[in-house]
Structure 1
Amino acid sequence: MASSTKVDPSRLAAYDVLKAVRLDDAYANLTLPQVLAEHKLEGRDAAFTTELVSGTIRWQGTYDAIIDACLTKPKLEAKVRDALRLGVHQLLGMRVPDHAAISTSVDLVRARIGVGPTGFTNAVLRKVSAQDLDTWIQQVAPDMAVDPVGHASIAYSHPRWVVEALGEALGIAAELPALLAADNAAPKVMLVARPGLSTVDELMAAGGVRGTLSPYAVELAAGDPSAVPAVAAGRAGVQDEGSQLVALALAETQLEGRDERWLDVCSGPGGKAALLAALAAQRGAKVLANELQQHRARLVARGTRAARSGLSGVVTGDGTRPPWREGTFDRVLVDAPCSGLGALRRRPESRWRRTPQDLDVLVPLQRALLDAAITSTRPGGVVVYATCSPVLAETTGVVGAVLAAREDATLESTRQLWPHRDGTDAMFIATIRRR
């Protein structure tokens, strides 16, 4: 194999991330910082790599259809397809000149795979470069009038079943293209000023703009959020406004009587628990952060380090079989494990990993968690059930099934956020009162 010295480090790094996503089931947003550091990439080079990785993964379905249309033989090695996807994104999704996108992709294949596929790579990418993205979509996507779901699947790079599930949840066919397009747009970097520890003004002074939905939200205009002093100290955090609204839904619901004991049932990795602990501390309340997995519990402990005064502890336990007594808590949050189809902007690889069969496991777990959470709440107390998914089986389906089996709980409100309407992840929030 040839040396990689001639290959642009940004493209080498992007290829390494795609390889880790494919072989190790890694998440790009978690792998990128490590790979960027290994290749010593900063500033514009790091931004180029980030866009190259995230854009390639988001548009993978569309790009694969285009690549397949350029093949003379149907079989293609996965490692070669990774390199081709990166080249196609440069040609069709970025402002990279055709000659640069093609030549650097050939160099990348030579360095990382070998000399053999270089001619093939050159030929395929030259075919791709002959047309723009819209023209390719018209060519490779099913006819919209005959198969609208199939057309949307290719045109917006979502698996067919995901298009169907999101369309059913949205309920307004005319808005579906806007939702799918929003999934393919890079999300804003939102910060949260944890009350009593940081302020919105402090974060705005670091180069941010006030959020529109949460009173604690600030959009970071540019730069690395970890370089913001309040974030580095844990007094503030990186948190989507939708996630902030989940915590606020629990904290702001009116409650009569005791209001001292709060519970976050599925607290990992700790963002909502940290905001809840900061809010609780201002009222003399305490949050117990529970997490099933030990490594995620450690993340919670680290993420809540600055909000200890509002935290009664971080424990490892099964929220479906809680060790605490019935009626222990005044407020309980169930941020349930879910398909994550509401956060495809942040974790684009999820759309390619999830299957409809995943719901067969997730939905019973969600029901069990919500049922146990209601039991853990005192009469008059409040439960907020949330998912980062708008899929009906995981949202209203779960809430309806659990409440139908109980006579001691009432649904007070639901809210579904959408990236194309609200600029947030597609969070579902249900507020339930135990009678």
Structure 2
Amino acid sequence: MSEHRRSSRGRKRSVDAPRRIAFDALRRINSQGAYANLVTTSATARMIPRDAGFVIELVHGTCRMQGTWDAIIEAAAGRGLGSMQPAVVDVLRLGAQQLFATQVATHAAVATSVDLAGTAIGERVTGLVNAVVRKMSTRDLDSWLAELAPGDDHTSLGLRYAHPTWVVDELARALGADGDLVALLSADNLAPVPMLVARPGLATVDELVAAGAEPATWSPWGAARPGNPREVPAIGEGRAGVQDEGSQLAILAATSADLPDGPWLDLCAGPGGKSALLRGLSPTFLLASEAQHQRAGLVTQNLANYPPGAHQVITCDGTAPAWGPRFALTVADVPCSGLGALRRRPESRWRRTPGTVAGLVPLQHALLRTAINSTLPGGVIAYIACSPHLDETIGVVEQAEQVEIIDAPALIAQVPGAAHHLDGRFIQLWPHLHGSDAMFCALLRRR
């Protein structure tokens, strides 16, 4: 399938379906705030695997490298992006992705970009697109970066590895002077193999392995499998899920602590992956609380295969709950910037700002206070964030009252280098060291 329109010279323009679908997806992401993974999943549902893979490569790669492509586009055009139509900018970004990050031949990247502009936007912009893509194609990526990012400062590293400068600053601060910042930035640009989780009592790792997965390095419930997770029967049936190994290890540490008798609470439960794991491990009862009604529905779906009676899902503002201190274990996987999951959310790095973090920190403090107040004396609170940003992690936990810090890395001693460099009692995982999201976990015991 392709789209046709005649050029100003009478030549019939033709755009293949994958490129047009990729362009439409990119417009939704950049103009409507859509999420790349959701858009591409929907857009490629009925495509043959080869074409679907090309769409995902174009969209995810363009979103991930957007800041770098934008700098090259501006240099090649000799003008700022703000002077161009947003749709034209997205055509140029797709052109850069094809030139610098795929096996598409240079002449094909130029020609298809011009044809895409002509059919999707109009003939009036084809001259500009032709000129800019041709100019970009005169040099390889290393040559462009040597000019635009010549140093080793954080601005140059950010441009070279497609991270906003402020994110590079914060990752360096969290990683510490002895950390390998370049290795971390590089790892953020590698799409991870989907990590599956066998839900205790419903599925086993052996079953996932039989479906083509490889056992996870450290999680007793995890298995990695390339391709579409829906191809695995246990996933389609809801007996297993998709969950990063870092998330699984945080739950492993929390549930390995010395816990008193009593029910468990998942305070920020949506969309329900951790809830399903906790439900399979809980010896008594799990209450899963989620502030958003729609996300609470997803939690219910994730728990649907477990027998009723030993869990309940409720919609509740986690900062003002009605319950008192009654839980032996409270898990607070708080809303955060998501800077630890940049591998899986390619567009998110360009949507976050320092203000994003500043706006979330008060909520994180409030949720941790609720978690502490919800926990029995002697019970354990697991404060989890999919972010290494110090303001969202240690900065929140160090202000907690009425708690003692548990040595969390000791509970996953099989995982090397899991201790935070600023305080070895906290877990901080890293993509370049552990192949997981940059997950933070603090375990606190209520006095």
Tell me if TM exceeds 0.5.
yes
Specify the SS of the correspondent of 2:306: helix
2:221 equivalent among 204, 216, 224: 216
Specify the SS of the correspondent of 2:197: strand
Alignment of 1:61-140 (within 5 A): 61-74=67-80, 75-140=83-148
Specify the SS of the correspondent of 1:89: helix
Aligned residue for 1:415? Answer: 427
Q: Distance in 1 between matches of 2:310 and 2:170?
A: 38
Aligned residue for 1:364? Answer: 362
Aligned residue for 1:247? Answer: 251
Alignment of 1:215-294 (within 5 A): 215-220=220-225, 222-255=226-259, 257-258=260-261, 260-280=262-282, 283=283, 285-294=284-293
Aligned residue for 1:425? Answer: 437
Q: State the AA in 2 paired with 1:175.
A: D
Contact 1:142-1:150 within 8 A present in 2 as well: no
Q: Does 1:193 align with 2:173?
A: no
Q: Distance in 1 between matches of 2:306 and 2:389?
A: 33
* Distance change (3 Å), C-alpha of 1:419 and 1:65: same
Aligned residue for 1:374? Answer: 372
Contact 1:279-1:310 within 8 A present in 2 as well: no
Aligned residue for 2:343? Answer: 345
CA offsets 1:218-276 (integer angstroms, 9 cap, x no match): 010x3311121100111001111001112222222112x41x30000001111000111
Q: Does 1:45 align with 2:44?
A: no
Contact 2:4-2:15 within 8 A present in 1 as well: no
Q: Note the C-alpha offset of 1:360.
A: 2.1
Aligned residue for 2:333? Answer: 335
Specify the SS of the correspondent of 1:73: coil
CA offsets 1:379-432 (integer angstroms, 9 cap, x no match): 110010000000000000000012xxx2x2111131000000000000000000
Contact 2:194-2:227 within 8 A present in 1 as well: no
Aligned Cα RMSD in Å?
Answer: 1.6
2:181 equivalent among 169, 176, 182: 176
Q: State the AA in 2 paired with 1:10.
A: P
* Distance change (3 Å), C-alpha of 1:173 and 1:112: farther
Q: Note the C-alpha offset of 1:103.
A: 1.2
Q: State the AA in 1 paired with 2:292.
A: Q
Aligned residue pairs, count:
419
Aligned residue for 1:302? Answer: 301
Q: Does 1:57 align with 2:59?
A: no
* Distance change (3 Å), C-alpha of 1:132 and 1:310: farther
Q: Note the C-alpha offset of 1:127.
A: 1.3
Q: Note the C-alpha offset of 1:3.
A: 4.2
- TM (normalized to structure 1)? 0.93
Contact 2:198-2:239 within 8 A present in 1 as well: yes
Q: Distance in 1 between matches of 2:49 and 2:244?
A: 23
Specify the SS of the correspondent of 2:398: helix
Q: Distance in 2 between matches of 1:198 and 1:52?
A: 35
Contact 2:4-2:14 within 8 A present in 1 as well: no
Q: Distance in 1 between matches of 2:162 and 2:85?
A: 21
Q: Distance in 2 between matches of 1:360 and 1:7?
A: 44
Q: Note the C-alpha offset of 1:278.
A: 1.1
2:166 equivalent among 153, 157, 161: 161
Aligned residue for 2:313? Answer: 314
* Distance change (3 Å), C-alpha of 1:100 and 1:426: same
Specify the SS of the correspondent of 2:265: strand
Specify the SS of the correspondent of 2:406: strand
Q: Note the C-alpha offset of 1:187.
A: 1.0
Contact 1:16-1:35 within 8 A present in 2 as well: no
* Distance change (3 Å), C-alpha of 1:372 and 1:93: same
Structure 1, unmatched stretches of 5+, are none
Q: State the AA in 1 paired with 2:125.
A: P
Contact 2:267-2:289 within 8 A present in 1 as well: yes
Q: Note the C-alpha offset of 1:143.
A: 2.9
